[in-house]
Structure 1
Amino acid sequence: MPTATNRGVDLYYETDGDGPTVAFVGDVGYGAWLWGWHHDAVAGPYETVVFDQRGTGRSDAPTGPYDVGTLAADLEAVLADHGVRSAHVVGAGLGGMVALRYAHEYTRASTLTLYCTAADGDDIDADALAELSLDAGPEASLSGAFSEQFRTEAADLLDRVTGWRREEDASGDPWEAQAAAMTGFSAPPLYEVTLPTTVYYGLDDPVVAPEAAESLAAELPRGDSEAVEGRHLCFVEHAPAVTDRLLATLDTHTDHEV
């Protein structure tokens, strides 16, 4: 599988499907499993690019600190290595911040879809974020990610998720470095991020309050927001509905691409 390099750091990525490119950027600590549900819906009519952020999965885990600017440069290295000219960028949490910085700094992004993210690290509940870490315990770390009802009804699925997390998720110092990048983030001038952008947020997200996500969407020139029932990984819990909306957005904007 391909590997891109940014300043000596190797970044593992995978691609699938055919058509316009959709690049997925993960949240603090989570491996590529996070995008499995989206990938199944998107790959085919679109090409998907999923990569392990530095510190995660099969990518290198250099000593921190990390910052969002460096993570955006990692995304640029991946897309450049794959020869992508234009990409719809989908980011969750920290990945949403990376997408915002990427759209401001680089030229390949065509639309942004942001899940459970904010414009400023001060809007992140650092304690709630820490409780999502696998280091907090496999079961405890899921309570902030998924609703109690989902954890009960989808217990078998969450057992598989825990297995994937043990294989792919960051922990220890790399997790801390990613978390510090998220809490230390300050968005570029949002009026300069003029791409069509949809911000999805969980109504019961303990990490990013709905008000912070709504404020981000309101400050973007072409931003809008969508509420989703659930917690920080509401876009996984309600993946069928969320991916349907994502595909509708991609189809709308792909019609205008050359």
Structure 2
Amino acid sequence: MPHATNGDVDLYYEVAGDESGGDGDAGGGRGGGSGGDRDGDPIPVAVCGEIGYGPWQWGWQHAALAGPRRLIVPATRGTADSDAPPGPYAVGDLAADLEAVLADASVRSVDLVGVGLGGMVALRAAARSGRVRRLALVGTAAYGGGLDPDPLWADPDDPEALESSLRAAVTDDFMSYQPDVVSRIVEWRALEDADRDAWEAAREAVRDFDLTDRLYEVTDEALVIHGTEDRVCPPAKGRELAEGLPRGEFVGVDGAGHLANVEASREVNDRILAFFDGG
């Protein structure tokens, strides 16, 4: 799998799908029309992950997004096989990491999906980069104040803690009715999630982020998706973000927690695909 570099930081990322059109999975046939770039090819999609989580968090989007488009899945610094330099990190650092990955993957124009901290990274990238076309932001706020990501943390070497901490990310119903999925998530987290030092470094990025007075710089269309039962980033924060963005739209996902892209993946994927395709 490819690696990109941002200064001294080595960044692992994965690529799936077909940039030029071709056969797809669940997303097949959805990349044409307004989804094309200047040359008529479908615009790739890149994803930006929540604090401390490895690429496993995008397993519920993989088949839907990696159809006729290319899907770029970076491992945030400190997770999976990406380097974990000493902290603290800043959202600007993580946006620069994303830019390095997109450049390495020869992506000129991109649609971004971000969750939590990843949504903040997507916002910063959209404000600074000419590559970004549209944004889909899940469980995201315009600033870090008033957020409580701390319950998401768990030691990757402690399976019980990994499972228990999922209760901050999804609802109790998901935990009760999807025990096999929960078990697999625990296994993936043990392999890919950040250790304590890297998690704390990323926590500083959340704490210091504030784009409230500069949301006007994000002129791209943005779909703000929020689980109504989000205990990490209250839905009011998502509404506030959508209202502050020049071209923002808020969509609530009834009964979903913070990781609405996992818990209500079918609804979230359908909304993201329709949005990216201009629907």
Same fold per TM (> 0.5)?
Answer: yes
1:4-60: CA deviation from partner (whole Å, max 9, x where unpaired): 000110000111111320000100001001001111111122110001011111000
Greater Cα offset, 232-241 or 156-165: 232-241
Unpaired runs of at least 5, structure 2: 20-42
C-alpha contact (below 8 Å) 2:169/2:232 kept by paired residues: no
Aligned match of 1:24: 47
2:272 corresponds to 1:246: yes
Figure out how many residues of one structure are paired with residues of the other and give that number: 250
- The CA RMSD over aligned residues, in Å, is 1.2
Aligned match of 1:84: 107
> Could you tell me which of 125, 134, 159 is aligned with 2:183?
159
When normalised by structure 1's length, the TM-score is 0.94
1:128-182: CA deviation from partner (whole Å, max 9, x where unpaired): x111112381222011111111111100110000000000011210011111111
1:204 CA drift (Å): 1.4
Aligned match of 1:134: 154
Greater Cα offset, 87-96 or 187-196: 187-196
Give the aligned residue type for 2:247.
R
C-alpha contact (below 8 Å) 2:163/2:182 kept by paired residues: no
2:139 corresponds to 1:116: yes
Task: Specify the SS of the correspondent of 2:61.
Answer: helix
Moved over 2 A (4+): none
C-alpha contact (below 8 Å) 2:116/2:138 kept by paired residues: yes
* Cα separation, 1, equivalents of 2:224 and 2:210: 17
> Could you tell me which of 60, 63, 75 is aligned with 1:40?
63
Unpaired runs of at least 5, structure 1: 254-258
Aligned match of 2:221: 196
Task: Specify the SS of the correspondent of 2:145.
Answer: helix
C-alpha contact (below 8 Å) 2:60/2:261 kept by paired residues: no
> Could you tell me which of 212, 220, 231 is aligned with 2:237?
212
1:51-81: CA deviation from partner (whole Å, max 9, x where unpaired): 1011111000001010000100000000001
When normalised by structure 2's length, the TM-score is 0.87
Give the aligned residue type for 2:181.
L
Task: Specify the SS of the correspondent of 1:49.
Answer: strand
Task: Specify the SS of the correspondent of 1:23.
Answer: strand
Task: Specify the SS of the correspondent of 1:198.
Answer: strand
- The sequence identity of aligned pairs, in percent, is 49
Task: Specify the SS of the correspondent of 1:59.
Answer: coil
C-alpha contact (below 8 Å) 1:134/1:165 kept by paired residues: no
Give the aligned residue type for 1:199.
V
Give the aligned residue type for 1:249.
F
Aligned match of 2:25: none
C-alpha contact (below 8 Å) 1:17/1:44 kept by paired residues: yes
Task: Specify the SS of the correspondent of 1:123.
Answer: coil
